[in-house]
Structure 1
Amino acid sequence: MTTRRDAVHDTLRHSKGFRSAQDVYAEMRLHGAKIGLTTVYRALQALADCGQVDVLRTDEGESVYRACASDDHHHHLVCRRCGHTVEVAGPAVERWAEAIGSEHGFTGITHTVEVFGTCSSCSAPARVG
């Protein structure tokens, strides 16, 4: 599984933006990899579990994946149109999550935050001429 997991991770490292398991599978098959879709799903889950890939849920509920650019805890700013993603730190979010958890007697607080919008390239007016 390690070799296949490394191949899946390598595919994500060379991809722009978030990709579905089906996208990763199709790209790998296109390049001659002999791998099954179930194996791709398992590899993505293992990579997510160990923090090597980020996972987002789309509005349709599908999980999409991207190789982490940072080993540190981070959040994402994601363009709704093109998928351009920026990893951002969120110290205020970290403090809020700990405070709200503590306020309600929770420990071992974890969280994920994704902020969606339209990037400057997608929101720029089209040039005529």
Structure 2
Amino acid sequence: MTESKEATPARRNTWQREAVRQALRGRDDFVTAQELHREIEDSGQRIGLATVYRALASLADDGEADTLRNSEGEHYRFCHTDDHHHHLVCRNCGATEEITEPMVEEWTQRVAAEFGYTDISHTIDIFGLCKVCTAEAKESHD
């Protein structure tokens, strides 16, 4: 997620954009455009995959969706806060927590200043195993 949210021209709120917004809002984890497309189609609404991609990109641009890029591609999640934040993401089940941490913000400012950078932005996603997956992994090893 980008740190600054600049004013963007008003977007037309089409039924397709609203369908993508609602489908994304109904999930707690990150999802790919293809997965969201399939969910919308399975609910009986006909929508093109390219339209889902465009709607997700515009929702991310407007700060309504978080994006996560990893080795498996780009994933989206409904953004529950307008404040700058980071994520803890479970590598196993995809559970996600939005976190704010002043120490991270202070560190990024200090490092940028040390190298003479200004007008910085950053995205930090921390991957690990959530409590549930950790407990399940421990049970399966016992």
Give the Å deviation of 1:70: 1.2
Give 1:114's match in structure 2, choosing from 102, 112, 125: 125
From 91, 94, 99, the equivalent of 1:83 is 94
Structure 1 residue 58, shift from structure 2 partner: 2.4
Distance 1:74 1:119 in 2: 18
Q: What TM-score, normalized by structure 2, do the two folds share? A: 0.83
1:59 Cα deviation from its structure 2 partner: 2.5
Return the match for 1:12 from 21, 24, 34.
24
2:4 is aligned to none
- 2-side partners of 1:126 and 1:95: how far apart? 39
Compute the RMSD of aligned alpha carbons. Answer: 1.4
What's the TM-score once normalised by structure 1's chain length? 0.91
Question: Whose relative contact order is higher, 1 or 2, with alpha carbons under 8 Å and at least 6 apart?
Answer: 2
In structure 1, the gaps of 5 or more residues are none
Match of residue 53 from structure 1: 65
Q: Tell me which of 120, 126, 129 is aligned to 2:139.
A: 126
Query: Take 1:70 and 1:126, find their aligned partners in 2: how far apart are those partners?
Result: 35
Q: Moved runs in structure 1, 4+ residues, more than 2 A?
A: none
Give distance in 2, aligned partners of 1:49 and 1:98. Answer: 23
Confirm whether residue 42 of structure 1 aligns to residue 54 of structure 2: yes
